[in-house]
Amino acid sequence: MSPRHLLWGRLPDQRPLRELFWLSQMPDTSVTEVGSPRTHSEASGIRHIDLPIRRPVKRFVEAGAFGWIGGVGHLDPSGVDWVASLELCSLVTGQLGAWAQRHRVRQAVVTWENMADQPLYHIPPYRQATRRALGADLMVCPIDAAGNHLLELGFPAERICVVPPGIPLSIFRPADSLGVEQDPNRIVFVSPLADNKGIDRVLEAFEIVRQARPAALLSVAGRGPLEGMVRERAADPSSGVTYHGSLDRSGVARLLAGSGVFTTAPRPTWKWNEQFGLAYLEAMACGLPIVTTACGTNHEAVRPPNVRTADRAGSLADALLAFLDNPKLAREVGRHNRKVAENEHDLKKQVLRLEEAFRRAEALPMRDRRRGGCPR
């Protein structure tokens, strides 16, 4: 098998150790990230071309950011087999689609999108980017809902590949194998501290939990616009809340493994609905049961015997107490979750599936991506 080289377009607000990292782990594949600043260090093996990110208005995040890469037109296509980026509507995806067409290079798009009626698809210049993306050679979908959404948009089924995300199971492990002590009374929230992830609802539910079970504790890790709310609650020693700030992967793994139940409370926005949630997988790999709100397509990650509740503090509190009051049940669900993570989300296995998807796409003729289509 001949090696491939992939050029990845960095989005504003790009998060590390996700899509770009997964692609870089594929066998026989080298990756160069384009944009600034670099998302991963040199030690990752991911090369970097430093081009400025232009962002006139700081609104939305990642795929919805009104931002693009300066100087893409001057990139040397020599040795580049693929360009790739995140989401159909991102302006960077539109840029790379035009560049790929000009230089006869294949294009791949990684998409988590679960809304076929995504409003950004119809707003210039996101609309133009989406039309280019619909001419891509391969769509990589970490969730089934994304594949279904593409079919609704009329994208060819043979060029859609669903590969559930993988996580490093050697890092995210249960408490006994990490050498940490698990506290069955501790609830843990690891997610951005933003409205759409529901830290406010979790804090509200935790007050109810504490009234019924004073020994209960809540650990919170993450950053975001609601950080002040968390800091204020954690400053009260009687609250039972501890704020850990932003942690690296090993820190997150140890915090998860040392807790008894994982929770979040996502809620939809006008342009976003919960898609999957990698934090769920990390908690599952650490042997925790999950309690969250039913939102978007997070049922793909959070399946019974874990619990998805209504977006109400009382409902969330009741589900949390069901695990806190029954440690045996919590342990059984946690063991079940670890097996699910091992069987379905081992990073080493999933990157092999990604590589297989690219090989299949390379066996198909390159598409004429002049205009891939129009979002319906």
Residues 6+ apart with CB under 8 A from 18: 278
Rounded average pLDDT over 323-339: 98
8 A C-beta contact, residue 93 and residue 9: yes
* Residue 83: pLDDT over 70: yes
pLDDT of residue 204: 98
Counting other chains too, the contacts that 270-274 makes at CB distance below 8 Å and 24 or more residues apart are 270/119, 271/60, 271/64, 271/115, 271/118, 271/119, 271/120, 272/115, 272/196, 273/114, 273/115, 273/297, 274/196, 274/298
* Residue 373: pLDDT over 70: no
E strands, 247-337, are: 261-263, 290-293, 307-309
* Residue 372: pLDDT over 90: no
Q: What percent of the chain has pLDDT over 90?
A: 93
Least confident of 58-62, 256-260, 331-335: 58-62
pLDDT of residue 375: 64
Rounded average pLDDT over 59-84: 93
| d(C-alpha 11, C-alpha 6), whole Å | 16
Interior angle at CA 248, CA 31 and CA 68, nearest 5:
45
| d(C-alpha 20, C-alpha 110), whole Å | 9
Mean pLDDT score of the chain, rounded to an integer? 95
pLDDT of residue 62: 83
Token pair listed for 260: 């008894």
pLDDT of residue 1: 64
pLDDT of residue 308: 98
Q: What is the pLDDT of residues 261-306, one digit of tens each?
A: 999 999 999 999 999 999 999 999 999 999 999 999 999 999 999 9
pLDDT of residue 134: 95
pLDDT of residue 116: 86
3-state secondary structure of 219: strand
pLDDT of residue 86: 97
User: Which one-letter DSSP state was computed for residue 365?
Assistant: P
- pTM for the whole structure: 0.94
| d(C-alpha 315, C-alpha 310), whole Å | 6
pLDDT of residue 153: 94
The neighbouring-strand residues paired with 30 are 5
